[in-house]
Amino acid sequence: MVSAKILVVDDDPAIRNLIHRFLAKQDYQMEAAGDGKTALSLFEQFNPDLVILDVNLPDATGYNLCQQMQSRTGVFVLMLTSRTDEADKIRGFTQGADDYITKPFSLGELGVRVAAILKRQRIVTTASQQCLIFEQLMIDPVRREVRLNDQMVLLTALEFDLLHFLASHPGRVWRRAELIQEVWDYDYVGDQRVVDVHIGQIRKKIEVDAEQPALIQTVRGVGYKFEAPRAMSQQRSS
């Protein structure tokens, strides 16, 4: 099996080299950059599966780079920063980050986070290759595309995973901890409200009224569920 490709972007050469050496020993294919311009150039050439991205760079912000990279390939992004403020973390997630680790960190924890994110690249089974169609909403797991009224809906990689999972189990109520386990695919150590952030972003993109959502509904005191429109939902093979 071909090992995953990881791009490390950090302007601190000591941290950049430490991560590079550590993950290279785990048999990942590695590249590294110290600024945004170099990072984008390497991103195009290397086509990584995961980018470990520092928020503060000399010529760019990690938030903007995250958006640019994910708009091209839907790459997984692990944000790396010295910021501990919750607002910064929420901003990172709303820009598409899959996970967020704060400096200082242990290499062991970094390794676990990286492995957990990359585990989400599972081989797609026949069942999960089916498009989900709910009236004007179509979710295509093969192309990782969502269309609403024949218009493309731009979701981050994690937003797509969360929407597809919920829509694959219409009517079932999921607790936040269950969604984290199923979608993030590991015991997330951060605040479970990260689920609320992503749900909020998805609602803004697919709901007629994000304040009164019809598709992704809140079950007070429990969690969330995807409620299929009254018309019969369909599935078709891609």
Domain ranges, ordered by start, for the chain: 5-119, 127-237
Report the CATH number of the 5-119 domain.
3.40.50.2300
Pairing of strands 174-175, 151-153: unpaired
Q: Give 233 or 220, the one with higher predicted confidence.
A: 220
Residue 86 has pLDDT above 60, yes or no: yes
CATH of 127-237, one of 1.20.1560.10, 1.10.10.10, 3.40.50.300, 1.10.760.10: 1.10.10.10
Q: Do domains 5-119 and 127-237 have the same CATH topology?
A: no
Question: Per-residue pLDDT tens for 203-214?
Answer: 999 999 989 999
pLDDT at 238: 43
Residue 194 has pLDDT above 90, yes or no: no
Question: Per-residue pLDDT tens for 31-59?
Answer: 999 999 999 999 999 989 999 999 889 89
**Model pTM score:** 0.63
Question: Per-residue pLDDT tens for 212-227?
Answer: 999 999 999 899 999 9
